[in-house]
Structure 1
Amino acid sequence: MVHPTAKVGSGVQLGENVVIEPNVVVGDRVVIGHNVVIREGTIIGDGCVIFDGSILGKRPFRSAVSAVTEEKQLPPLSLGKNVVVGANCVLYRGSLLEDNVFVGDLVVIREEVRVGAYSVIGKGVSVENKTTIGKYVKIETNAYITAFSTIEDYCFVAPEVTFTNDNFLGRTEERKKYFKGPTLKKGARIGANATILPGIVIGEDALVAAGALVTKDVPARKIVMGVPAKVVRDVPEEQLLERQSFYRPDE
């Protein structure tokens, strides 16, 4: 079903049981799989691929006890050019995915999230609302990125990493004044199964070892490990972002 007010470009391929709601804009050469739902106003750039069963432009709904979901008007979901969205993903209204972003299967990206160009969001990742992700970021399978987090360019987040944003663990109204997810500065890397506590800043090119519990800010270019995490040594020179062939400082 394609609503009469939707604008569908040339060379678009539609699977079976696709629903395209009012005022949707679909660019040229877009491929849309079976059973995809594209909600009102969503913008899809040229060359995008949307795999089976995904929902684009979902409106958030608020639980009676939610502390971070707001009831307000949100702009449409917008996908840049050549974005790939895997099967059975849910992308919320009010978010922006820039050109060449890759989203794996079973990903949820909440409202008011921005994902920079060429970033990869791996299978089963959850990105909560009001989060900013830079360009050339890689977030691997089943990582949890909590609301109000910031991940700068060229960061790496390994599988099963957990970000947190509430030091009060859901108790007291005062906690609402202090919600803050972690901040990963440019080129920071987080190992598998690490947990980052609320408001922590991981410095540029720092490395958090697998399984670490990060309770304090991490200085730039340092390696931390343990529970709680402590500085153990410098990041080796050959591992620094500026030494990598894929690094494009002028973009």
Structure 2
Amino acid sequence: MEDKYFTHPTAVIDEGCEIAEGVKIWHFSHIMPNCKIGERCNIGQNVVVFPKVILGENVKIQNNVSIYTGVICEDDVFLGPSMVFTNVINPRSAVNRRGEYTRTTVKKGASIGANATVVCGKDVGRYAFIGAGAVVTKSIADYALVVGNPAKQIGWVSEYGHKLQFNDQGMAVCPETNQKYKLENAKVFRIDE
């Protein structure tokens, strides 16, 4: 099974993990039991993937990230260096809250910048972009661009991460791909022609 994916000699892979083909696991990372890692994921240095975490295909995790039980990352998610997830809303050292882990889903194509924090139970929408250092305290809409502490939406981005400029009819075009987007009722949709 190990020949299907790459593991650096310093990485620790516990029994009971499902690791798909083409995955790369780098220095000093720890993959804990019963997690599922999809094809072509890249797990950087000093990353911990806790039990029962689910990573879709092509998830890119930069150095020094802990992905706690309760987190699900869909396909093509980017987790920036030293970003933080939580999984308990009111942690206390003397109180065991293992049965109270809260789920957080990072949806397809979303990016979370370096040193950002996502408070548990707050989902990140498809292709959303969370700026470096942001603190996410509420769920983020599809294609939303958010920054700051607490994170506030300052615009919308395309699937390629470009800020979208909407005209009076609520239409925008990605400058890199010419994909078209529609803003309607405070939601953005990609228009497929």
| TM more than 0.5 | yes
Q: Residues 42-191 of structure 1 correspond to what in structure 2 (within 5 A)? A: 44-45=1-2, 48=3, 81=4, 83-170=5-92, 175-191=97-113
Q: Does 1:207 align with 2:132?
A: no
Contact between 2:44 and 2:62, CA under 8 Å: does it hold in 1? yes
CA deviations on 1:20-39 (whole Å, 9 max, x unpaired) are xxxxxxxxxxxxxxxxxxxx
Rounded Cα–Cα distance in structure 2 between residues aligned with 1:142 and 1:238: 25
| Contact kept in structure 2, 1:148 and 1:179, CA below 8 Å | yes
Aligned AA (2:52): K
Q: Give the greater-gyration-radius structure (CA).
A: 1
TM-superposed deviation, 1:93: 1.0
* Structure 1 residues not aligned, in runs of 5+: 1-43, 49-80, 245-251
Counterpart of 2:153 in structure 1 is 231
Using the aligned pairs only, state the percent identity.
32
Report how many residues are paired: 166
Q: Residues 123-162 of structure 1: CA distance to partner in whole angstroms, max 9, x if unpaired?
A: 1111111100000110011111111210000000010011
Unaligned runs of 5+ in 2: 163-173, 179-193
* TM-score, L = length of structure 1: 0.61
> RCO (CA 8 Å, sep 6+): is it higher in 1 or 2?
2
SS for the counterpart of 1:239 is: coil
TM-score normalized by the length of structure 2: 0.79
